[in-house]
Amino acid sequence: MLRGYARVASTTDDAGDQVERLEAAGVAAGTIRVDTSLGTRGARPALETVLGELRPGDVLVVTGLDRLASSVLHLVQVGQRLHALGADLRSLDERVDTVGEGEVGVLPTLELLAGLQRTLVSASTRAGLDAARARGRRGGRPPRLTAESAAEAQRLYDEGRSVTEIAEKLDVPRTTVYGHLRRPT
């Protein structure tokens, strides 16, 4: 059975064009679900409904992949759900049709692309942090102990004082003291 899904970005948009295209593709009017989703992270109750209605052998038809998912990762997650349900995906704009593909085809390719996207974001973040460090910027919270206080903590520790005593004297948590100690090897 063909089931349709359409999404518009705001309450002023009209899903009429998408619904007409889905019907022209053979989707019965009563099986088309429409969401109004504000933003990429907005709730999509109609998508959850249509995914709940799918049975093995059914095909989810959308006008475009951008109407179905907010990111490549989200698309992969929806694709995995479809695969687990034994359902297929057809996108009219991109001419994607997973019917009869088996284990090779669009969904595994999308999983690879999602992995690539995560890798690129991670690499970009690392490059940005490295560039900031090269400019002398440090990330994270500033140290609670000054260099003098850290040296005092180390001296007291080397004298045999407990970490609890040192923490009370410096008015910091014990974990802070532990973070600044160089323990003898």
For 38-70, write each residue's pLDDT tens digit.
666 668 899 999 999 999 999 999 998 888 887
Ordered by start, the domain boundaries in the chain are 2-114, 147-180
**pLDDT of amino acid 49:** 93
- What is the token pair recorded at 66? 């951008």
Gap between the Cα atoms of 71 and 40, Å rounded: 8
What is the CATH code of the structural domain delimited by 2-114?
Answer: 3.40.50.1390
**pLDDT of amino acid 111:** 67
Report, as an integer, the average pLDDT of 88-115. Answer: 73
**pLDDT of amino acid 43:** 80
Range 48-54 contact pairs with CB under 8 angstroms and sequence separation of 24 or more: 50/3, 50/4, 50/5, 51/78, 51/81, 51/82, 51/85, 53/3, 54/3, 54/82, 54/85, 54/87
CB 146 within 8 A of CB 172: no
**pLDDT of amino acid 185:** 46
- What is the token pair recorded at 75? 């698309």
- Provide the greatest CA pair distance for the chain: 84
pLDDT in tens, 3-19: 999 998 776 678 889 99
**pLDDT of amino acid 26:** 95
pLDDT for 101 beyond 90: no
Gap between the Cα atoms of 36 and 173, Å rounded: 49
Q: Which of 65, 68, 75, 73 is nearest to 117 (CA)?
A: 73
pLDDT for 112 beyond 60: yes
Q: Which of 68-72, 138-142, 143-147 has the highest mean pLDDT?
A: 143-147
Catalytic member of 10, 91, 124, 149: 10
pLDDT for 169 beyond 90: yes
Average pLDDT, the chain: 85
DSSP 57: T
In DSSP terms, 2 is beta-bridged to 59
10 is annotated as an active-site residue? yes
Gap between the Cα atoms of 63 and 73, Å rounded: 19
Gap between the Cα atoms of 176 and 109, Å rounded: 47
pLDDT for 143 beyond 50: yes
Report, as an integer, the average pLDDT of 23-42. Answer: 84
